[in-house]
């Protein structure tokens, strides 16, 4: 258990000022360990993320924003778990779990009941990845590597009704459901390198939202669905950007020589939480998002 500065937590809960008013990211964790993939719980009071607990093990951690304490989410987990994704409104969450040698499946778990469904990897070396859960907790999207590309898939939360959303002729990764469940935003290399696209949640024609010679990845819908945050390398290293749902009004949120990555929206939309590297340490930071 680690105690985050009460001041820092309090600051993080302050409604953020608009971009350009001098507001600075607020550090939420302090241990500096390698971290990945934060995701807010539905009430916005806690964040789940993956952390390298020791050189051989990734664990899911939970940061309670009210107490400032972090704790291991699954204390009995002996295999690496990572890429957690929470539903916006339901107790369902999903994550990647190491099953064995070069073999990774997706676990879908109900926080309240502890019930769990596992989507197993294919035979042999296989790594499913990047789960996303719809707001109502009824659907889970994930990535299935196949045929030299990455296929976007969808299943019901009970593991049935498996469907292909995007084929494996390119890399398709980091899906995220819109709050109303009608669309999925994701990144794809179908036009050469990673760009951000949006498409109907049951598949279909994808609309391209970004166009950069460098990768635009990890898009995340805001809670109202009107904005999309993502990571882009377009300015020399990983920085955070926000754009409107249609790809317009692109705003850069961070400008730092070190890495800013893995954006996730606070359910109140006033801020994004991301993994920022500062002075060689990796911690969760709250970053204000104001009006354009």
Partner 1 sequence: MFGIGSFRARTCEGLTRRSFLQVASSLPLAGTLGNSLSAVHANEASRKGRAKSIIFVFLWGAPSHLDTCDPKPDAPAEFRGPFGVVPTRTPGVHFTELLPQMARRSDRFTLVRSHVTTAPGHPDAGTLALTGYEETKTPLQPNFGSIVARHRGHAAALPPFLSIANGIVMDSERRIEGYGGATLGRSHDPFLVGCREDGEVNIPALQLLDDVNPARISDRRRLSQQLDHVELAREAADPSAWTRTNGHAYDLLTNPQAKAAFDLARESPATRDRYGWTVFGQSALLARRLAEAEVPYIQLNYSRHVEAINPGFEFGWDTHIYNFELLQDWHCPILDRAYSALLDDLVERGLMDQTLVVCMGEFGRTPRISPRAARDHWPHCYFSLWAGAGIEPGRVIGESDARGEHPCTEPLSPLRVGTTIAELAGIDTENRAGLRVLDGGRPIEGLV
- Report in angstroms how near the CB of residue 74 gets to partner 1 at its nearest: 15
- The residue (of 15 and 257) whose beta carbon lies closer to partner 1 is 257
What whole-number distance in Å separates Cα of residue 244 and Cα of residue 271? 15
Q: Which stretch binds partner 1 (CB under 8 A): 17-25, 86-94, 212-220, 242-250?
A: 212-220
- The residue (of 83 and 271) whose beta carbon lies closer to partner 1 is 83
Q: In which element (H, E) is residue 214 found?
A: none
Binding status of residue 118 toward partner 1 by CB under 8 A: no
- Report in angstroms how near the CB of residue 80 gets to partner 1 at its nearest: 7
- The residue (of 22 and 213) whose beta carbon lies closer to partner 1 is 213
- Report in angstroms how near the CB of residue 150 gets to partner 1 at its nearest: 5
* CA torsion through residues 247, 253, 258, 259, sign: negative
What whole-number distance in Å separates Cα of residue 99 and Cα of residue 120? 8
Considering only 20, 22, 114, 236, the residue that binds partner 1 (CB under 8 A) is 236
8 Å CB contact between 150 and 168: yes
Considering only 8, 11, 17, 34, the residue that binds partner 1 (CB under 8 A) is 34
Cβ neighbours for 140, distance < 8 A, ≥ 6 positions apart:
92, 94, 106, 108, 119, 131, 132, 133, 134, 154, 155, 156, 157
How far lies 133's CA from each of 94, 106, 155, 170, 291, in Å? 7, 12, 10, 23, 27
Show the binding pattern over residues 163-182: x = contacts partner 1 (CB under 8 A), - = does not: -----x-xx-x---------
Tokens of 79: 């295999």
Residue 63 CA neighbour count, 13 Å, CB half:
30
Q: Which residues bind partner 1 (CB under 8 A)?
A: 32-34, 36, 52, 55-56, 78-80, 98, 100-104, 125-127, 129, 145-150, 168, 170-171, 173, 189, 192-194, 213-215, 217, 233, 236-237, 259, 261, 277, 279-282
């Amino acid at each position: 258990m680690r105690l985050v500065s009460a001041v820092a937590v309090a600051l993080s809960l302050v409604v953020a000022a608009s971009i350009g008013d001098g507001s600075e990211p607020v550090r939420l964790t302090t241990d500096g360990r390698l971290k990945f993939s934060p995701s807010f719980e539905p009430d916005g009071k806690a964040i789940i993320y993956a952390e390298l607990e020791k050189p051989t093990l990734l664990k899911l951690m939970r940061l309670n924003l009210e107490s400032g304490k972090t704790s291991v989410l699954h204390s009995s987990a002996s295999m690496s778990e990572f890429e957690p994704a929470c539903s916006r409104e339901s107790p369902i969450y999903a994550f990647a779990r190491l099953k064995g040698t070069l073999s990774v499946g997706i676990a879908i778990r109900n926080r309240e009941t502890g019930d769990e469904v596992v989507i197993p990897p294919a035979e042999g070396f296989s790594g499913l990845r990047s789960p996303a859960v719809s707001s109502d907790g009824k659907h889970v999207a994930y990535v299935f590597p196949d045929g030299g590309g990455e296929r976007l898939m969808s299943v019901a939360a009970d593991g049935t009704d498996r469907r292909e959303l995007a084929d494996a002729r390119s890399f398709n990764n980091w899906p995220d459901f819109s709050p109303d469940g009608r669309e999925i935003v994701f990144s794809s290399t179908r036009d050469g390198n990673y760009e951000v696209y949006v498409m109907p949640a049951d598949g279909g024609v994808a609309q391209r939202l970004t166009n950069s010679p460098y990768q635009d990845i990890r898009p995340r819908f805001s809670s109202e669905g009107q904005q999309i945050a993502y990571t882009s390398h377009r300015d020399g290293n990983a920085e955070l950007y926000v754009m409107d749902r249609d790809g317009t009004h692109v705003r850069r949120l961070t400008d730092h020589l070190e890495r800013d990555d893995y954006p996730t929206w606070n359910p109140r939309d006033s801020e994004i939480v991301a993994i920022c590297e500062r002075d060689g340490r990796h911690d969760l930071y709250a970053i204000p998002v104001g009006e354009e």
